[in-house]
Amino acid sequence: MARLNRQEETEKTHTESDTKEHTKESEEESCPECESESLVTSGEGDELVCDDCGLVIEEDIIDRGPEWRAFNHGERESKSRVGAPTTQTMHDKGLTTQIDWKDKDAYGRSLSSEKRSQMHRLRKWQERIRTKDAGERNLQFALSETDRMASALGVPRSVREVASVIYRRALNEDLIRGRSIEGVATSCLYAACRQEGIPRSLEEVSEVSRVEQKEIGRTYRYISQELGLRMEPVDPKEYVPRFCSELGVSEEVEMKAKEIIDVTAEQGLLSGKSPTGFAAAAIYAASLLCNEKQTQREVASVAQVTEVTIRNRYQEQIEAMGIQ
């Protein structure tokens, strides 16, 4: 009997504690000030804030950052105890050791001639052992070519990372066999620009490459089909800001050109047309409407299309807009 009473008391205690925890959880799910259930966590994850009234419900005073302070880039570099993050743009993902080219010791003093000769040999062998076979050497060459072309095109770092990932996938699927390394690397860079929404035409990419445009297009179609890359159609409006900036026209012309593209694209004029030529014609038409006339030759030079293309697209666009 005493055992049953103790068991009932234990169950009652557990029930009361569960009820208190449930009540506490329900209180935390709503704001005590305005009773709103719209609670958000701050960017660093150390505060729980009501989205309606701004009350800080929970606050974590633990600083999860480093224990040292730095006020400029040089101090951060000198005090940091970690290396650079891994990157796909290097064949070894940046995990191997690199010997600095400066012939100085830890105190900044110049090395003796004997030590300089020794460091030169070590540096040379370090570069050699970074690539263990022909496959890694080819990958190193392809990624260096990708980095060179990306720098010439002025695309951001994210595009280089995506291009490197696409090339590694093509290498793992054995899609490089029978094709030039430069051609595949250029095709991967063009595909990365398309995926990241960076407006670069095939003509612009072929200019910085050592491969013909026809081969780049053929390899790009093959790789995108084999790897199942989902490519959205290029929007001509993505080219308008860059072309307008190079022409030095006002923002009014840029907005008018985008309006022309929207109106004419809704009528189906964009189907089967080059996006660069379509954007160039819209800019030419907008410059005439805004009294900031640009010649067809100037616009064609910036967009890398022919004047005939601009004239044809221009006639189609003004007819669709109902402008005489």
State the Cα–Cα distance between residues 293 and 317, nearest whole angstrom: 17
The predicted pLDDT at position 311 comes to 92
State the Cα–Cα distance between residues 277 and 317, nearest whole angstrom: 12
154 by DSSP, 3-state: which?
coil
46 by DSSP, 3-state: which?
coil
The model's confidence at residue 35, banded by pLDDT at 50, 70 and 90, is confident
290 is in an annotated binding site: no
Q: What is the pLDDT of residues 95-129, one digit of tens each?
A: 777 788 888 887 888 888 988 899 899 888 887 87
Q: What is the pLDDT of residues 150-185, one digit of tens each?
A: 999 999 999 999 999 999 999 999 899 889 999 999
Query: Most confidently modeled of 4-13, 76-85, 122-131, 247-256?
Result: 247-256
The model's confidence at residue 25, banded by pLDDT at 50, 70 and 90, is very low
Is the pLDDT at 66 greater than 90, yes or no?
no
Question: Measuring CA to CA, which residue among 164, 166, 158, 122 is closest to residue 141?
Answer: 164
166 within 8 A of 188, measured Cβ to Cβ = yes
Q: What is the pLDDT of residues 211-243, one digit of tens each?
A: 999 999 999 999 999 999 888 888 888 899 999
50 is in an annotated binding site: yes
The whole-chain average pLDDT of the chain stands at 83
* Number of residues assigned to the chain: 324
193 is in an annotated binding site: no
